Amino acid sequence: MSAPPQSPNRRLITIIATYNERSNLPDLIDQLQQLIPAMQILVIDDNSPDGTGTWCRAKCAADPNFQCIHRASKLGLGSATITGFQWALSNGFDLVATMDADFSHAPSSLLTMVEAFDAPANHDVGVVIGSRYIPGGAILGWPILRHASSRLVNAVARLFLRLPTHDNSGAFRVYRADTLRAIGVSQIQAQGYAYLEEILWRINRRGIKMLETPITFQDRTQGKSKTSLRMGLQVFWHLFKIACRRIR
């Protein structure tokens, strides 16, 4: 699959938050740059002790299409992504993608999601979501308990937040910059994984169209998962708070 031509009027950046992803990041960046050579990549690294930040410094020095923001400690996925959003908006990008660093999200799927904006019927789409929970989507490598908890989170988000989308907890997305400006990324309150649902809630409140495209999610084969029971409970608590605000 070849890369689409990148118009000067549609600058694309992909944000990747990292903590201990030295075993995955170099190969991921290489594949992304082969697929979409003109794309900029921004890594937000939370002082990974495994050398991820050191590799990023060397990559930055050699590659003008690669940037890295180094943070002093592990501050969380939500705050890392918001930092990336703010950097992308201040530097004039038109499409802003987010994806995991561990190959859970296939680079080839990113190309498909970006190309979705080119369809005439999608001229008013504000975000394309890589969805595991629509026909054609799938998850490989998860235990039953994680399947069940993910389904529950997404059902709760649809019910409490009145979201029309099916995959509300996945980080694989491409946003129009105008969409991020419209929702005010600095106003996002969740710092953990619940920021994903909160963003869609804010987009939906603005009446901005959201599109889901099917992806196959592959559980990581290298490195350690960052999810935990505590994070899951925090997601439910934040969804409850958003639902209360919606009702008020």
DSSP string, 70-139: E-SS---HHHHHHHHHHHHHHTT-SEEEE--SSSSS-HHHHHHHHHHTTSGGGTTEEEEEEESSSTT-EE
Domain boundaries, the chain: 12-247
Residue 219 banded pLDDT, cuts 50, 70, 90:
very high
Residue 151 pLDDT: 92
Residue 240 pLDDT: 64
Residue 210 banded pLDDT, cuts 50, 70, 90:
very high
Q: What is the CA radius of gyration of the chain?
A: 17
Domain 12-247: CATH architecture, name and number where available: Alpha-Beta Complex (3.90)
Q: Which residue has the tokens 């987010």?
A: 98
Residue 231 pLDDT: 59
pTM, 2 dp: 0.88
Which tens digits make up the pLDDT trace of 99-128?
999 999 999 999 999 999 999 999 999 999
- DSSP code, position 6: -
Residue 9 pLDDT: 57
- Give the residue with greater pLDDT, 226 vs 211: 211
% the chain with pLDDT above 90 = 75
Q: Which residue has the tokens 């060397």?
A: 58
110, two tokens: 């990113």
26, two tokens: 């170099």
